Structure 1
Amino acid sequence: MTARPDVPDAWIDRLAGILEAFPECVADRAWVGTRWRVRGSTVAHVFGGEDQLFRLIFRAEPGEVPAFENLGDPYFRVNWGESTVGILVDEATDWDEVAELLTDSYCVQAPAALAELVERPPVAGS
């Protein structure tokens, strides 16, 4: 079995800077990698795979999941519920885009009273 690589510390720090700015969003060790949760619900999970690729799993509105599937690489569908999506993270990752995705993920997972405290990015075309 091939060992899973550790996610680079700089990426963990970058993700923490985004996620831990949200109310009650905290990091903890997952079965592999690091995850961020709000009141027990996972907002994001980053880990290295046996294929040596790094994956960031997050939540999207269920109606948006097919759009991510259709976009293809670097996005992929995750079979962990109807609202779960993943993105491959590498040196070319657009961290501004990741911040928007994680903001939405937090708002999907957080209780409404907490989600209302977060400024969401504007929807394209509005």
Structure 2
Amino acid sequence: MAPKDRPLVPEEWVRRLSAILCALPECAEEPAWVGTRWRVGQATIAHVFGGEDQLFRITFRAEPDEVMAFEHLGDPYFRSGWGANVVGMLLDGDTDWVELGELLTDSYCLQAPARLVQHVERPA
């Protein structure tokens, strides 16, 4: 595999992410420029992809005060280089899928219209 090649995200992971995200009102999975993304309307909730460094990442939205926390937590979390509220997480065999599900639900609630958010049970 050449250094600039991006690995495909394991199908099992895409299925797990879809199970979390597509359970949310009007959230849909679609191919992205690389990897897969989930959107509500035109707003992206999450985007999973393989990087040129052969690592897998998922990006999502967070509250402004949480963005700095993610940035300072370090591995497996990171702040994206674009978008004021975009953060992410490296995915691997040790990923905490329960925690990730909560983070993705929060991301959905930040991006979705209030009429849809009112139907979502948020983690405590």
- Please report the TM-score for the alignment, with normalisation by the length of structure 2: 0.96
Amino acid at match of 1:37: R
- Distance, in Å, in 1 between the alignment partners of 2:42 and 2:103 is 19
Quote the Cα distance in structure 1 between the aligned partners of 2:113 and 2:49: 25
- Residue by residue over 1:7-39, the C-alpha shift from the partner in whole angstroms, topping out at 9 and shown as x without a partner, is 000000000000000000001110000000001
| 1:68-117 C-alpha deviation (Å, 9 max, x unpaired) | 11111000010221110010000000000000000000000001111111
Name the residue aligned to 1:97: 99
**78-87 vs 88-97, which deviates more?**
78-87
Matched letter for residue 120 of structure 2: V
User: Which of the numbers 12, 29, 32 marks the counterpart of 2:31?
Assistant: 29
Q: How far apart are the structure 2 equivalents of 1:31 and 1:15?
A: 18
1:39-93 Cα shifts (integer Å, max 9, x gaps): 1100000000010000000000112100111111000010221110010000000
Q: In 2, Cα distance between the equivalents of 1:80 and 1:118?
A: 27
Q: How many residues are aligned here?
A: 122
What are structure 1's unaligned runs of at least 5 residues?
none
Aligned residue number for residue 112 of structure 1: 114
Give the TM-score of the pair, scaled to structure 1: 0.95
User: Which of 15, 18, 39 lines up with 1:16 in the alignment?
Assistant: 18
Per the alignment, residue 50 of structure 2 pairs with 48
* Paired residue secondary structure (1:11): helix
| Displacement over 2 Å in runs of 4+ | none
Question: In the alignment, which residue of structure 2 is the partner of 1:65?
Answer: 67
